[in-house]
Amino acid sequence: MADVIRSTVPLALATVPGGITAARGFKAGSVHSGIKTAAAALDLTVLATEVPASAAGLFTTNLAKAAPVRVSQQHLDRSSGRARAVVINSGCANACTGDQGFAHARQMATETAVALGCRPEEVLVASTGVIGVALPIDRVVSGIRQAVSTMTQNGGPDAARAIMTTDLFPKEHAVTVQTARGSFVVGGMAKGAGMIEPNMATMLGVLTTDAQVSPTTLRRALQTSARDTFNAITVDGECSTNDSLFVVASGASGVAVDDETYPALLEGLLAVSRELAIAIVRGGEGATKLVAVTVSGARTSDEARQVARTIANSPLVKTAVHGADPNWGRIVAAAGRSGVNFDIDALTVHVGGTLMFENGLPHDDAAPIAAQHLRGQAIQIDVNLGSGDGASATIWTCDLSAEYIRINGEYRT
């Protein structure tokens, strides 16, 4: 089955409310368990299916993987890609917490399984928050029991709030995908504000669908959709210890995914993932501007991504964007150190559609027009390497402000 992104038949996608519980066969319950100090702040959620479902996950490439990441990887392997629930806490990452951390992550899965009447390996676990702090496991266990007892089909919005840490707003999205065989829904939620350069997914993300999909096909679709969405964002170039992206397919719609309907599933996952990924960047710590860096004219898409990511992660580029300084030299310099070979005399740079560099020479007379664009909140940087068959890629990032430094300078204090 080919990983094509576009269907040969036009697809109808319509936005619907509900987030992760918009798809049939899902319920969620969210509570304040006491991990967060703020009174009544939601900090734990359980998402569950009515019957065992297909599941897949992508995880951080960081070698310092948190306990819940390793437990979820083990559970997906042992269950052969089947799951009944995802349990997530915020306010504590349960990372770098030794054997106790693994015991706590396993206990979260076991308590959820007991409450739902399923096997522990059918429960996926995720945590987010401060690294190196032990979970208040007694509070978490009590919270899991309460969350399961209050699960509802309308629980998606609360779940999106329960996984927030320094996020300024909850991130959720859902679409209905219309096909010749009927319709199915793809929903999702995500969190992330700092420590965002996933190299897999995002800091935390959950996607749901009521399409009937095998675990193998579901994983393939997740990998493909994440490549140009969750794996195409960066806030600060930091790859977290806890990055996890899950997708669960309940099959409740009755629409089976095969070669013919696979593109429809992929379109749905892309639509939801792109919305969530861009929202993560837009809500990045200290961010005031959303920046799209598009590199074209590359030999391969991977080379285009490599150049775009280097530019997007450059502190000099990000601070210039924040100050509305059309400093094209920083963009060229970042491209030049990306590790991708190109001819500088064939390179062009546009800022907001304004040509700033061409044929090895600047167009500084256009700087005032570019500066005006940079004073906006949606910034476009285009670089053409002029060295290939037209392969391109886009990486989304944000500006770097003094507020980012303040937030992270006081994160534990």
Q: Report whether pLDDT(87) > 80.
A: yes
Report the percent of the chain where pLDDT is more than 70: 93
| Structural domain containing residue 330 | 290-409
Task: Give the separation between CA 200 and CA 25, rounded to whole angstroms.
Answer: 27
Q: Which of 9-13, 70-74, 185-189 has the lowest mean pLDDT?
A: 9-13
Instruction: Give the count of domains, the chain.
Output: 2
In a domain, 2, yes or no: no
d(CA 339, CA 324): 27
Q: How high is the pLDDT of residue 2?
A: 41
> Is 7 domain-assigned?
no
* Ranges 66-75, 76-85, 164-173: which has the least confidence: 164-173
Residue 312 backbone dihedrals phi, psi, to 5 degrees: -65, -30
Q: Are residues 248 and 344 in the same domain?
A: no
- Is the Cβ–Cβ distance between 196 and 240 less than 8 Å? yes
Residues 108, 217 within the same domain? yes
Write down the pLDDT at residue 200: 41
CATH of the domain at 307: 3.10.20.340
Q: What is the pLDDT of residue 406?
A: 80
Least confident of 57-61, 134-138, 306-310: 57-61
Beta strands (DSSP E) in 337-403 are: 348-351, 354-358, 361-362, 378-384, 391-398
Residue 4's pLDDT is what?
Answer: 41
- Identify whether residues 270 and 176 lie together within a single domain: yes
CA dist., res. 320 & res. 200, Å (int): 28
273 and 343 both lie in a single domain? no
> Which residues have C-beta within 8 Å of that of residue 222, sequence separation ≥ 6?
56, 57, 58, 207, 245, 247, 269
Query: CB neighbours of 165 closer than 8 A, spacing ≥ 6?
Result: 90, 91, 128, 129, 191, 193
pLDDT confidence of residue 90? 96
In a domain, 5, yes or no: no
Q: Tell me whether residue 256 is in a domain.
A: yes
Give domain status of residue 13, yes or no.
Answer: no
Is residue 269 domain-shared with residue 343, that is, in the same domain?
Answer: no
Whether residues 88 and 194 share a domain: the answer is: yes
The residue among 32 and 167 whose pLDDT is bigger is 32
3-state secondary structure of 147: helix
| CATH code (residue 188) | 3.60.70.12
Provide the pLDDT confidence category of residue 185 given band limits of 50, 70 and 90: very high
Of 230, 259, 280, the last residue of a domain is 280
Same domain, 382 and 235: no
Name the token pair of 190.
């995500």
For Cα atoms 26, 178, 251, give the angle at the middle one, nearest 5 degrees: 30
Flag whether 202 is in a domain.
yes
Q: Of 103-117, 133-147, 195-209, 228-242, which gets the smallest average pLDDT?
A: 195-209
Inside any domain, residue 180: yes
Query: 150-154, 223-227, 235-239, 306-310: which range is least confident on average?
Result: 235-239
Interval 143-154: pLDDT, tens: 999 999 999 999
Give tens-digit pLDDT for 192-204. Answer: 765 445 554 446 9
Give the residue from 280, 308, 341 where a domain finishes.
280
| Model pLDDT, residue 202 | 44
**Where on the phi/psi map is residue 258: left (φ > 0), alpha (ψ -120 to 50), or beta?**
beta
Q: Are residues 161 and 233 in the same domain?
A: yes
pLDDT per residue as tens digits for the range 37-50: 888 899 999 999 99
As beta bridge partners, residue 123 has 85
User: Are the C-beta atoms of 187 and 22 separated by less than 8 Å?
Assistant: yes
Residues 150 and 260 in one domain: yes
190 forms beta bridges with: 171, 205
Please give the Cα distance from 79 to 217 (Å, whole number): 16
pLDDT range class, residue 224, cuts 50, 70, 90: very high
Tell whether 238 and 359 lie within a shared domain.
no
Calculated CA dihedral for residues 96, 30, 72, 195, nearest 10 degrees: -50
Same-domain pairing of 26 and 165: yes
Q: What amino acid is encoded at 46 in this protein?
A: V
End-of-domain residue from the set 241, 257, 280 = 280
285 in any annotated domain: no
Confidence of residue 88 (pLDDT cuts 50, 70, 90): very high
Active-site positions? 202
Residues 254 and 319 grouped into a single domain? no
Please tell me the predicted confidence (pLDDT) of residue 1.
37
